[in-house]
Amino acid sequence: MTTRVVFNQKGGVGKTTIVCNLAAIAAARGLRTLVIDLDTQGNATQYLMGGSATPPDRTIGDFFDSTLSFSLSPAPFVTYASNTPFENLDIVAADPRLDELVVKLEAKQKIYKFRDALRKLRGYDAVFIDTPPALNFYSRSALIGADKVLIPFDCDEFARQALYTLLDNVAEIRADHNEDLDVEGIVVNQFQSRSKLPTRLIEELRAEGRPLFEQTLSSSVKIKESHENHTPLVYLDRAHRTTREYLSLFDALGAD
């Protein structure tokens, strides 16, 4: 089982879309796949379960709440997962209570509980974690518990400066908490091939030795349709150009 966290401290870079679409491809290819939504906004949960009439019985908030009480036999993490409408694809749903819980979690130093739960997780081939747009308790927990981190990047100068800070923060977490964490690569999202600035920034970042994927993800109205229909691209329109870009990225990950 490979656990990937998709993380960027900057908002609006497409973390949720990347998580859900890569997870959907994994599931469509027969891999038992789990999405974990650590963002209180719950966009990944809405994306994958928005059409469901049944709210999840348990959420990620229930898991973190349970860590605040000592138990000789805590519930396995898999019990917090809910089915989505898509075969092989489950989700641990978001919970707005995360904002309330964080003070207690930090005070009781529960930063490793998520890692410990992931290490005991069984029954899945691939795990994708969506994170809040901040380096907070939950995103740190994800980086400490994950095998790999995937970094979305939109091409502008402000995003570039934020990327340098992000890479430094990830390196610090790897040195202090998770020496096996692999920076799998930087994914250029909302790429406009006809614009000179994005092309120049990509060339400069590659010249600096930054781990950018060759595969880029374009801006597309089809993404908005996918969100509106609560249906990842591989199920909505497999032949669409943007879907093919995600399939190419998935193949580059060697996701298994």
User: What's the first-to-final CA gap in the chain, in angstroms?
Assistant: 7
The pLDDT tens digits for 80-127 are 999 999 999 999 999 999 999 999 999 999 999 999 999 999 999 999
pLDDT attached to residue 57: 86
How many angstroms separate the CA atoms of 117 and 77, rounded?
6
pLDDT attached to residue 216: 86
Structure tokens, 44: 């990944």
Helix, strand or coil for residue 114?
A: helix
Question: Does residue 195 surpass a pLDDT of 90?
Answer: no
Question: Does residue 198 surpass a pLDDT of 80?
Answer: no
pLDDT attached to residue 157: 67
Query: Which domains are delineated in the chain?
Result: 2-253 (3.40.50.300)
The pLDDT tens digits for 2-38 are 999 999 987 777 899 999 999 999 999 999 999 999 9
Q: Which residue has the tokens 């949720």?
A: 16
State the DSSP code for 229: T
176 confidence band (pLDDT: 50, 70, 90): very high
pLDDT attached to residue 193: 63
Question: Does residue 194 surpass a pLDDT of 70?
Answer: no
DSSP states of 27-91 as a string?
HHTT--EEEEE--TT-HHHHHHHTT-SS--SSBHHHHHHHTTS--SSPPPGGGG-EE-SSTTEEE
Helix, strand or coil for residue 126?
A: strand
- Sort 70 into a burial class: Cβ within 10 Å, 0-12 / 13-18 / 19+: exposed
The pLDDT tens digits for 30-80 are 999 999 999 999 999 999 998 665 778 899 999 999 999 877 678 999 999
pLDDT attached to residue 31: 97
Helices then strands, counting H and E runs in the chain, come out as 11, 8
